[in-house]
Structure 1
Amino acid sequence: MFSVKTLFLAAMATVAYAAPTCQPAFVPTLPKCGGARELPPPPPSLTLKKIAVGHGIQNYTCVDTSSSPKADGAVAILYDVTRFAPGTPKTGLAQALWDKIPSALLLKPLTLKKLAGTKYGADATKPFPKEEDLKLLGFPVAEFLGHHYFDSTSTPMFDLNRVGLKASVIKLDAVDAPANADKGPLKTGAVAWLQLGESGKGLSSGLTQVYRVVTAGGVGLKCDVAGAGVHSVPYTTFYWFF
């Protein structure tokens, strides 16, 4: 026969076992560039959906050799690195290793379908190869997430087709990349960090804002070096999707 004391202790043990942990979900913090001004944070109402590392090209047009290169869109493959963000329980990378991802990826040959006669240019109609995960030496495998491109109206698009998210965006704000950012294989510099917002064209699905941060490479060649016409420059970056 159980005593009153035994029944009481058993009941207390059951209550203790059933108590919720109430630990808040971990949310990575958007990086800062360390300049005189930072990109504005996303509105508190938005939640982080994905973090991707993008690998692709920035395109530029030179009217002639005395002009300045005009940005002319971009094409990139996106890989899911959300679960590797520093601080993520069990799967998070050390901060120093995480910070190296864009520069390490920039050393990897582009997998975009190349435009004939160019070193970095991508095929204009079918630039993307078959969908494959990213295997980068010294880093865990990152799953394929989607593509970044500019549509027929020159609107930046992010199609995260692996998870059913899409963003049609316009530029809201920009800050220069840090002075010590990886300048890329052409040593031209790292493209600016951006805050991008919904374009209002009704093409987005599940996404409202996109941040381009921790950029490496991507700045256009001077036109007296590139010559008149279109040229492409490799770049990598983290994209944060809200």
Structure 2
Amino acid sequence: MVSVKSLLLAAMATVAYTAPTCQPAFVPTLPKTGGPRELPPPPPSFTLKKIAVGHGIQNYTCIDASSSPKADGAVAILYDVTKFVPGTPKTGIPQALWDKIPSALLLKPLTLNKLAGSTYGAHATKPFPKEEALKLLGFPVAEFLGHHYFDINSTPMFDLSKVGLKASVTKLDGVDAPANADKGPLKTGAVAWLQLGESGKGLSTGLTQVYRVITAGGVGLKCNVAGAGVHSVPYTTFYWFF
């Protein structure tokens, strides 16, 4: 006959064997430039919602050949790379491969609808082509996530239409890109890394802050080269959404 004590010991052993091991959830950390000052991190209470790689153009206006280029908005397509962050269980890719994504994507022809007669400019009213996944040689396929653009009031917007998130933002902080950052096809330089916060215009949905990090290309041409008028410069970057 099996004793009550034996049954209790067997039950306790089974519970101990089958109890799941509690592992802390993997939380990616923002990259750093390695410069004298870094972008401030988001508050601990904020949750990382998505990470995207963006491919598009930065626009600039030159009044004349002797002026400095004035930033005049941007247009980009966003692709979801959240699950590929190095360290992510099962789907994370090597850090070296991850860091190369912006530079590799910058070599890919722009898929924006072109402005007639412009090398890089996008169509003024219909800049975005049909929604497609990003297929970059040597990298996992990244699904389409949304668009980045400036609205009629020149407010930066991020519309992550595939997941119902939207950010209307203003600049909170910025630091120079590392000296060794990819300067882009025009060799003008990489745009700054930015911390962007909610604009207060009531246009955001589910997002409070956006970071632009690991930039490649995007710095405007000197006006004595570009000439008077608007010119566009291709760029790529990672966007982190909180």
Whether these two folds match at TM > 0.5 is yes
Matched, 1:146 2:146: yes
Q: Which amino acid aligns with 2:175?
A: V
2:217 corresponds to which residue?
217
Please give the residue correspondences for 1:1-40 in structure 2 after superposition, counting only pairs within 5 Å. Answer: 1-4=1-4, 6-40=6-40
**Deviation at 1:59?**
0.2
Please give the residue correspondences for 1:1-242 in structure 2 after superposition, counting only pairs within 5 Å. Answer: 1-4=1-4, 6-242=6-242
**In structure 1, what is the Cα distance between the partners aligned to 2:17 and 2:234?**
54
**Deviation at 1:3?**
4.3
| CA shift digits 1:42-63 (9 cap, x unpaired) | 0111110000000000000000
**In structure 1, what is the Cα distance between the partners aligned to 2:6 and 2:146?**
59
**In structure 2, what is the Cα distance between the partners aligned to 1:79 and 1:183?**
21
Q: Mean Cα displacement is larger for which, 215-224 or 14-23?
A: 14-23
Q: Which amino acid aligns with 2:54?
A: G
Q: Which amino acid aligns with 1:84?
A: F
Q: Mean Cα displacement is larger for which, 77-86 or 4-13?
A: 4-13
| CA shift digits 1:204-228 (9 cap, x unpaired) | 0000000000000000000010010
**In structure 2, what is the Cα distance between the partners aligned to 1:157 and 1:14?**
54
Q: Which amino acid aligns with 2:136?
A: L
| CA shift digits 1:160-200 (9 cap, x unpaired) | 00000000000000000000000000000000000000000
**In structure 2, what is the Cα distance between the partners aligned to 1:128 and 1:169?**
21
**In structure 2, what is the Cα distance between the partners aligned to 1:20 and 1:207?**
33
- Name the SS for the 2:212 alignment partner: strand
**In structure 2, what is the Cα distance between the partners aligned to 1:238 and 1:4?**
61
| CA shift digits 1:67-116 (9 cap, x unpaired) | 00000000000000010001000000111000000000000000000000
**Deviation at 1:4?**
4.1
Q: Which amino acid aligns with 2:202?
A: G
**Deviation at 1:9?**
3.9
- Name the SS for the 2:96 alignment partner: helix
How large is the RMSD of aligned CA atoms in angstroms? 1.1
Q: Which amino acid aligns with 1:212?
A: R
**In structure 2, what is the Cα distance between the partners aligned to 1:90 and 1:4?**
44
- Name the SS for the 2:152 alignment partner: coil
**Deviation at 1:232?**
0.2
Q: Which amino acid aligns with 2:45?
A: S
Query: What is the TM-score normalised by the length of structure 2?
Result: 0.97
**In structure 1, what is the Cα distance between the partners aligned to 2:10 and 2:63?**
82
- Name the SS for the 1:104 alignment partner: helix
Q: Which amino acid aligns with 2:106?
A: L
**In structure 1, what is the Cα distance between the partners aligned to 2:13 and 2:80?**
42
| Structure 2 spans left out of the alignment, 5+ residues | none
